[in-house]
């Protein structure tokens, strides 16, 4: 039985092994087979608990404006842009875990416009479910639309092997038709309109089965085949050709129960996620059937957290109140100009990649920068660009210096050029991370500043090279 507690049906792996690329092929195959995984220790426990406290403080500071449900005992908060959520989404370990998951996918069409190398953030709400709660109970369902799986031609092609009667050949991890599929034909409230490789949440509590946590049906391929073929089946002895799609309601997620999908035997096949600690990461395939414990029978809370909208602090397009004021004006809200997640993601990713190469890495930053975004295991040094000796000292022991400043800081690189001749730096890469257009879409003149930096480096006999970051260059990295 899938719910047998003595069988570890849902795979668990250690983030340290994920980061080192040390998972065995059997482990990876099991994750694909079950369509779900618990990645242990993605964040340090103290960091996850700190994020939860930040969230509580944010709620308390804005209690007169925060929307949550149920209203008498809130469990889900209509908050998307709190500092703790933004910090968690941009943490390099989170990005690494997400990249591992997306790389489980592929496309059988080599020309498909999809990349599994760069994780994207889908902003969602967060949950703090208190013991005894029985109101916040989501029954078995699959997100990503319902009728759309049959109605939309491209979405239907995702399941062509099943519809052709060759369900054994169906590959849930082939993304060939996923990106261009229309998952929300009916503009449903809260319906997801984009393709997500996985859904996932970050645990901020110590919770186990029956304590207000997640349940998953770990029979991904079989359950999906049954769902797609269910309209052609009958529970009696007479074949029913009526156009009926059990559990499929326009504008809603696909739902399941013992009447609509009796052969799934959900009372037996829905499996509780194993015990998780703060910092663990739980992920499940976009087609996986999942639900939430009907009642939280534990003693502690069950807490988890899942770009114009970000700038205006408005709920994202898929959620209630989209386009409205949202969290605009909330106390303690994030300062995007100094804490932009896009900057954090790219800076973290670049630094992590360099550190992974095995070479020692040191990050130089100004006091106004957010070094909190950086990987915890790299050396950091605060510098004052107006203090020449400070810059020279910071460059001691550095062979190659890569600048990651943004457009507003380009000219500050002259401080590096003045200092480098007094050091052993052998190669200097001026920043090419410069935004190309302003908010009105007009070109902004930064090339003169960049050329001035390059000319100054040449005149100082400093060897230089330029890293072309592609799409990253469209984002401003406003700090060192």
Model's pTM, two decimal places?
Answer: 0.68
What pLDDT, on the 0 to 100 scale, is given for residue 352?
63
Contact 82, 55 (CB under 8 A): yes
Q: Which residues, including other chains, have CB under 8 Å from residue 46's CB and lie 6 or more apart?
A: none
* Tokens, residue 101: 């998951």
CA distances to 19, 194, 212 from 272, rounded to whole Å, are 26, 27, 10
**Span 361-410, pLDDT tens digits:** 888 877 666 544 555 567 778 888 889 998 999 998 899 998 877 666 78
Nearest to 130 by CA among 76, 62, 59, 85: 76
Strand order in the sheet with 281-285: 12-14, 36-40, 281-285, 198-203, 302-305, 126-129, 76-77, 68-69
Q: Which residues, including other chains, have CB under 8 Å from residue 153's CB and lie 6 or more apart?
A: none
Region 36-64: mean pLDDT is 91
Nearest to 127 by CA among 59, 60, 195: 59
Q: Which residue has the higher pLDDT, 4 or 154?
A: 154
**Span 141-184, pLDDT tens digits:** 999 999 999 999 999 999 999 999 999 999 999 999 998 899 98
Q: Which residue has the higher pLDDT, 324 or 108?
A: 108
pLDDT at 472 over 90: no
Region 299-314: mean pLDDT is 51
Other residues' Cβ atoms within 10 Å of the Cβ of residue 139 = 16
pLDDT band per the 50, 70, 90 thresholds, residue 446: low
Mean model confidence pLDDT for the chain: 79
Region 46-66: mean pLDDT is 89
Handedness of CA 339, 340, 341, 342 (dihedral sign): negative
pLDDT band per the 50, 70, 90 thresholds, residue 325: low
pLDDT at 7 over 50: no
Is the bond leading into 70 cis (omega within 30 degrees of zero)?
A: yes
pLDDT at 212 over 80: no
Nearest to 459 by CA among 419, 426, 428, 417: 417
Q: Which residues, including other chains, have CB under 8 Å from residue 396's CB and lie 6 or more apart?
A: 423, 424
């Amino acid at each position: 039985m899938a719910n047998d507690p003595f069988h570890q049906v849902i795979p668990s792996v250690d983030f340290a092994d994920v980061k080192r690329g040390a998972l065995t092929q059997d482990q990876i195959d099991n994750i694909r087979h079950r369509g779900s995984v618990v990645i242990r220790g993605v964040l340090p426990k103290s960091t996850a608990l700190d994020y939860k406290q930040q969230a509580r403080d944010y709620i308390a500071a804005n209690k007169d404006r925060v929307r949550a449900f149920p209203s008498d005992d809130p469990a889900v908060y209509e908050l998307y842009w709190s500092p703790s959520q933004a910090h968690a989404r941009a943490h390099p370990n989170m990005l690494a875990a997400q990249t591992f998951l997306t790389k489980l996918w592929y496309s059988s069409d080599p020309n498909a416009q999809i990349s599994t190398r760069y994780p994207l953030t889908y902003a969602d709400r967060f949950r703090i479910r208190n013991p005894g709660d029985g109101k916040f109970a989501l029954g078995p369902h699959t997100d990503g639309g319902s009728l759309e799986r049959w109605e939309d031609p491209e979405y239907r092609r995702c399941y062509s092997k099943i519809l052709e009667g060759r369900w054994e050949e169906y590959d849930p991890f082939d993304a060939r038709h996923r990106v261009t599929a229309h998952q929300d034909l009916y503009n449903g409230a809260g319906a997801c309109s984009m393709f997500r490789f996985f859904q996932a949440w970050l645990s901020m509590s110590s919770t186990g089965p029956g304590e207000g946590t997640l349940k998953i049906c770990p029979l991904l391929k079989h359950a999906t085949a049954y769902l797609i073929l269910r309209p052609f089946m009958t529970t009696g002895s007479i074949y029913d050709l009526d156009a009926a799609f059990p559990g499929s309601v326009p504008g809603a997620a696909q739902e399941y129960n013992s009447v609509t999908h009796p052969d799934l035997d959900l009372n037996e096949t829905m499996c509780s996620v194993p015990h998780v600690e703060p910092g663990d990461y739980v992920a499940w395939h976009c087609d996986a059937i999942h639900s939430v414990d009907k009642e939280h029978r534990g003693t502690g809370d069950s807490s988890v957290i899942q770009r114009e909208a970000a700038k205006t602090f408005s709920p994202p397009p898929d959620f209630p109140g989209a386009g409205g004021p949202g969290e605009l004006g909330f106390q303690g809200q994030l300062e995007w100009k100094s804490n932009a997640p896009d900057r954090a993601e790219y800076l973290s990713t670049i630094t992590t990649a360099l550190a992974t190469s095995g070479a020692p890495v040191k990050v130089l930053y100004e006091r106004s920068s957010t070094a909190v975004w950086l990987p915890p295991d790299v050396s950091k040094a605060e510098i004052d660009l107006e203090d020449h000796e400070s810059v020279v000292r910071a460059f001691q022991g550095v062979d190659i210096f890569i600048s990651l400043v943004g457009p507003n800081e380009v000219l500050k690189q002259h401080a590096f050029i003045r200092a480098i001749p007094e050091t052993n730096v052998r190669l200097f890469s001026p920043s090419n991370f410069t935004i190309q257009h302003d908010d009105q879409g007009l070109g902004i003149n930064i090339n003169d500043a960049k050329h001035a930096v390059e000319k100054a480096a040449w005149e100082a006999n400093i060897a230089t090279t330029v890293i072309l970051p592609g799409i990253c260059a469209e984002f401003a990295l406003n700090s060192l």
